[in-house]
Structure 1
Amino acid sequence: MKNFDAIYQSKLKNVEGALDLIQSHDYIFSGQSAGEPTALLDHLQYLKTTGVKGVTLNTCLPTKDYLWLHDETMRGVMEHNSWFFTGAVRESQKNQLSSAIPQNSTTALSKTLDRITTEHRRPVLFSTVAPMDKNGYLSLSVSTVYERDLIDAGALVIVEVNPNYPRTFGDTNVHISEVAALIESNRPIPYIQLAPYTEIDAEIGRQIATLVEDGSTLQLGIGNIPNAVAFELRNKKHLGIHTEMFTETMIDLIECGAVDNTVKGLNNNFSIASFTLGSQRVYDYIDNNPSVLFKSCTYANDPYTIGQNNKFVSINATLEVDLTGQCASETLGSVQWSGTGGQSETVRGAQMSKGGKSIIACHSTYKDESGQLHSKIVPFLAQGAVVSTSRNDTDYVVTEYGIAWLRGLNVRERAEALIAIAHPDFREKLRVAANNEKIW
C-alpha cells in the first residue's frame, strides 16, 4: 500500500513555492466562488518577481476584491478574464484590467480549452479542497462547476487544503497523485447570510408558487426572489432539487418535508447541484452528506439532463425584458453586470422536461441613482444590452403584477401579456410605444 501521507508531504509547498510552478503563457482557472483558493490568489502579485509573462487567470464569481484586480503593473504579467462578474471585477474592468468571456455554463470550459490548446498554452487549476482521507483522496468540496473536468483534461493542479471546507459527494474526488502541488491554510470559508426580502419579492414568490405543482423538480438561484419562492413552497409535496447552486432555502424545504426527491425521474433520492455559497448552516449540512451530489455543470446544467427530470421548474432573474420576450440578465446596457451562468440552459432544459416550466422573474420597476422610477419591461432593450435568454426560449415572465405566459404567442400577444404585468404607471406608455414601433 502506498504511503499517501508521504506523497502529500512531498508536494506540500509554501505559497511562493507553488506559484513558482507557473510558467509564461499558462492559462490558470480558479475554482468558482467559495471554491477559489484565496491563499493563492492573495499572492498573485508575486508573479511580477518570477519573470513570467503572458499568464491569464480565469475566475468565476470571485469572493474577494484582490489587489491585483487594480494593479496596473500586472499588465503583461497576467491578464484577468471572468465568466461571472462581481462589483470588484466591474471596477477592474473600468481600467481595462478585467474582461468578460461570453459563455454558457456547459460549454464555457470546453470552448476555452479549445482556444488555449490551439495556442499551445498549458491549463492550470487553482482550487480549494477539503483535507485528504486515508485513501489519498481530497475533496473539491463546494464547487464542481468545471474543476473535475479540468483535472480530467490534464491541467496542472495546485490546491489549497483547508480543514474548514466540507467533504462532499459527487464529482468531488481528487487523488493526491493528480495534484502537482498543495499549500495549507486555515482561513474561514466565505459565507453569505440570507437577506430579508421585500413585500414585492414576497408577492412575486406567491405568483411563482402557483405555477409549481407537487412533484416538481426545482432549479432556484440566489437572491431575494428565490428566497421568497422557497418560503411559499413549504406546503408543496414531493418536490425535487436539480440546480446549479445549492442554497440555504433548499435545506428549509428538505427539513419541512416539501422536498423528498422521490419522484424526480432522474437521480431520485438525491439533490443535485454544482456549487454552493452560503451560511455555516449550508456547509454543515452538506458535510459528509451523501444525499447531496455535486456534479459538473456539463452534467447538471445540460438541457438534455435537465429534461429527464419530471416537471422541471427553472426560476431565474433578469434585469430587463422587451415586449417580444428578450431578456437581458447580465448587462446594464453595455456594462457587464454578472454573467449568463446557467440561465439559458436551464430555460431550455425546463421546457424539454415533461410538464416543465421556465420562469423569468423580476420587479416591474427600478430606481436610477437620482431616484427616478423606470420600467423593467421596455419596448426595446437598452443600447448595448446582451440578450441572455432569447425570445425564442422565454416561457413564463413573472412580476409582482402577475404572470405572462409567452409560450406559443405571437409578437402582438406577447406585448399585450407583458404590458399587463408591467407597473400600472408605465402600461399606457408601453402600449403607445408598441403601436408606434409596430411591435405586433
Structure 2
Amino acid sequence: MNVLKEYQQKLQTPEDAVKIVKNGDWVDYSQTCSFPTALDAALAARHTELRDVKIRNAISMRPVQTVEQDPQGAAFTYNAWHCSGIDRKYIDEGRAYHIPMLFRDCGSYYQKGFAPVNVAMISVTPMDRQGNFNFGLTNCCQQAILEAADRIILEVNSQMPYICGMEADHIHISDVDAVVEGHAEIPTVSSPSATVIDKQIANLIFPYLHDGITLQLGIGGMPNALGTLIAASDLKDIGMHTELMSDGYLTLYKSGKITNRKKELQRRKGVFSICNGSRELYDFLDHNQDIISAPMSYVNNPYTISQFSDFVSINSCIAMDLYGQVCSESAGTRQISGTGGQLDFVTGAYRAEHGMAFLAMASTFTDKKGIKHSRILPKFTQGDIITTPRTQAPYMVTEYGAANLSGLTTWQRAEAIINIAHPDFREDLIKAAEQQKIWRRSNT
C-alpha cells in the first residue's frame, strides 16, 4: 500500500485513538521527551468511564493529565521507572508509584514479559517518504516497548528532532494501529546552576581527566561545572558515550573538546540513549551526523563500557555511610529519582582498562529549620535505598577530597570516608566507627 494513503487511513483524533484503551489495560508512555501530550490529555478525559488503567512512564517533563484529572486514582494508576521532580511530587502525594530498575535491563523487562503493554503511546517525528517515523530524543527501550505492545498509537510532532541511531531508531507506518498529530512544544529543562561546592568538587575531579578519555556525565550542577572547566581547558579529543545527553555536552561540543576521534567504539560518533535539555540542544541534535542514539541495553551494558580503554564516569549521589554504601535515589524511604544507570556505569568503568568512576556530593545539607546535617552517615537505618553497594563503591568525592574505596578494608574505608566528611562531623563519625568496630586503634 502507498504509505501516504496508509497514513491517512490510520490518522485519527486523539479522542478517537484512545478509545482502544479498556479497563485493566497497561498503557506505556515510554520515557522523557517521548511523552504523548495530546494522547495523555485525551485519555485523561475518559477518567469517569475507565477503571484500573495502569500507566508507565519515566522522567516526566510536564504535568501528567491522567494524574492531574484523576486525583483519587479511581481510573488511572501512574507508575514511573525513574523520577523527575514532577514524578517525585506525585509519589510524595500518594498519587503515583516507583518501579525499581537498572536502566540497562529496562528493555528486557518488556521482552521477557515482566512488563506487559496493552497500548503503547509515544511521540515521534513526522513520517518520511519510506513510511518511517524516527524516535527522536528517546531511544532507551523504545523498540522493546513497541514490540511488546498489543496496540500502538503514534503522536506525530514536527518539533521532534530527527536523530540517527545505531539500531532501534524508527517504526514503520505498517506496524502501528493509529496516528494522531500533536502540536505541543517538546518539553525543555534548564541546566542547574553550579554552586560554589559544585565548582570545588569539579576542581577535585578535573586533575584525573586527560586527553582522549571517553566521558559519561550525569545531570546536575556539578557535572555542568566540570563541563565548563573542560571547555575552558587544554584537554582535547574527548569522546561521548552516555545514557543521558544534556546541555553539559552541548557546551563541550561548542568548545571543540568533543571530537570522538579516540574512541574504541563508534569512532567519530557521540552516543547517547535519552536526551532532555534546552531547545538549543534539540536543534543541535537534529540531523546531526556526528551523534547517534542507541538502546540503553547497549549504552549502559558494562561489557560495552569496558571496551573503552580510558572511560570516565561522573555522577551525583545523595548520601553514603562509613561502609561505603551509596544512596543516590531516596531520602529515607522518600523516592527522589531512581537507580537509573549509576550502577551500570560504575560497573563498566571499573572493568575498563584505565576506567574510573566518581560519585560526588556536597558533604552536608541544611534542612528547612536551618540545621546542618552530614551526608556521610555512620550507617543507613532510615530505609534509604542502596544504589551502589559497598563492594562496588568507586572514587567518592566531596568538597573536602576524593577517596578511592576499591580494595580497602572496613577500617581503611572508614578513615578515608571520614577524611572527606565535613570537619564539624568528623569526631562524631569516628566515635560511631569505634562503636561499629571499624576504627583501628592506631588510626590518628
- 1:210 paired with 2:219, answer no
Q: Which amino acid in structure 1 is aligned with residue 79 of structure 2?
A: N
- Distance in 2, Cα, partners of 1:281 & 1:382: 44
Say yes or no: does 1:6 pair with 2:5: yes
Match of 1:197 in 2: 194
2:127 equivalent in structure 1: 132
Contact (CA 8 Å) 1:359, 1:396: kept in 2 or not? Answer: yes
Within the candidate set 81, 84, 105, 1:83 is matched to 81
Q: Which residue of the partner structure matches residue 182 of structure 1? A: 179
Distance 1:3 1:112 in 2: 32
How do 1:5-84 residues align onto structure 2 when only pairs under 5 Å count? 5-49=4-48, 51-70=49-68, 75-84=73-82
- 1:67, CA displacement in angstroms? 4.1
* Alignment-mate amino acid for residue 100 of structure 2: P
Within 5 Å, which residues of 2 pair with 1:40-439?
40-49=39-48, 51-70=49-68, 75-111=73-109, 114-116=112-114, 122-170=117-165, 171-234=168-231, 235-439=234-438
Spell out, residue by residue over 1:275-299, the C-alpha distance to the aligned partner (whole angstroms, 9 max, x if none).
1111111011110012111111111
TM superposition shift of 1:114: 3.7
Q: Contact conserved, 1:70 with 1:92, CA < 8 A, in 2?
A: no
Identity of aligned residues (%): 34
Is the 2:237–2:262 contact (alpha carbons within 8 Å) kept by the matching residues of 1? yes
**In structure 2, C-alpha distance between the alignment counterparts of 1:363 and 1:219, rounded to whole Å:** 20
C-alpha separation in 2, matches of 1:131 and 1:93: 34
Deviation of residue 251 (structure 1)? 2.1
Give the conservation status (yes or no) of the 8 Å contact 2:201–2:398: yes
Matched-pair contact (CA < 8 Å) for 2:92–2:334? no
1:55 Cα deviation from its structure 2 partner: 2.1
Shift of 1:98: 1.1
Note the C-alpha offset of 1:232.
Answer: 1.6
Rounded Cα–Cα distance in structure 2 between residues aligned with 1:284 and 1:318: 30
TM-score normalised to the size of structure 2?
Answer: 0.93
Shift of 1:313: 0.9
Q: Residue 224 of structure 1: CA displacement? A: 0.3
**Secondary structure of the residue that 2:17 maps to in structure 1?**
helix
Displacement of 1:95: 4.5
The CA distance in 2 between the partners of 1:369 and 1:129, in whole Å, is 42
CA–CA distance in 2 between the matches of 1:58 and 1:380?
Answer: 33
Contact conserved, 1:215 with 1:310, CA < 8 A, in 2?
Answer: no
| TM-fit CA distance, 1:218 | 0.8
Are the aligned partners of 2:161 and 2:285 in contact in 1 as well (CA < 8 Å)? yes
Task: Tell me if structure 1 keeps the 8 A contact 2:311–2:349.
Answer: yes
**1: CA distance, partners of 2:252 / 2:31:** 25
CA pair 385-298 structure 1, distance change in 2 beyond 3 A: same
- Relative to structure 1, the CA distance from residue 407 to residue 198 in structure 2 (aligned partners, 3 Å threshold; closer, same or farther) is same
Change (3 A) 1:427 1:164: same
Q: Which moved more, 1:5-14 or 1:21-30?
A: 21-30
Partners of 2:148 and 2:272 lie apart in 1 by 21
Tell me which amino acid in the other structure corresponds to 2:387: S
Deviation at residue 310 of structure 1 after TM alignment: 2.2
* Change in 2 beyond 3 A, CA 1:57/1:350: same
Shift of 1:375: 0.9
In the alignment, is the contact (CA less than 8 A) between 1:70 and 1:97 conserved in 2?
no
State the shift of 1:144 in Å: 0.9
- What is the RMSD of the two structures over their aligned residues, measured on CA atoms? 1.8
- Deviation sequence 1:333-392 (CA, Å, 0-9, x none): 011111111111111011111100111010111011111111111111241100001111
Change (3 A) 1:31 1:122: closer
Q: Which moved more, 1:63-72 or 1:279-288?
A: 63-72
Q: Aligned partners of 1:243, 1:408: CA distance in 2, in Å?
A: 27
Q: Provide structure 2 residue ranges, at least 5 long, that are not aligned to the other structure.
A: 440-444
C-alpha distance in 1, partners of 2:241/2:265? 9
Q: Could you give the per-residue CA deviations for residues 63-114 of structure 1, whole angstroms, max 9, x where no partner exists? A: 1223432555764532111111233333333453311111101223423554
User: Greater CA deviation, 60-69 or 12-21?
Assistant: 60-69
The count of aligned residue pairs is 435
Distance 1:29 1:134 in 2: 27
Question: Normalising to structure 1: TM-score of the pair?
Answer: 0.94
Moved more, 84-93 or 308-317: 84-93
Q: What is the CA–CA distance in structure 2 between the aligned matches of 1:257 and 1:218, rounded to whole Å?
A: 14
| Mapped contact 2:273–2:293 kept (Cα < 8 A) | yes
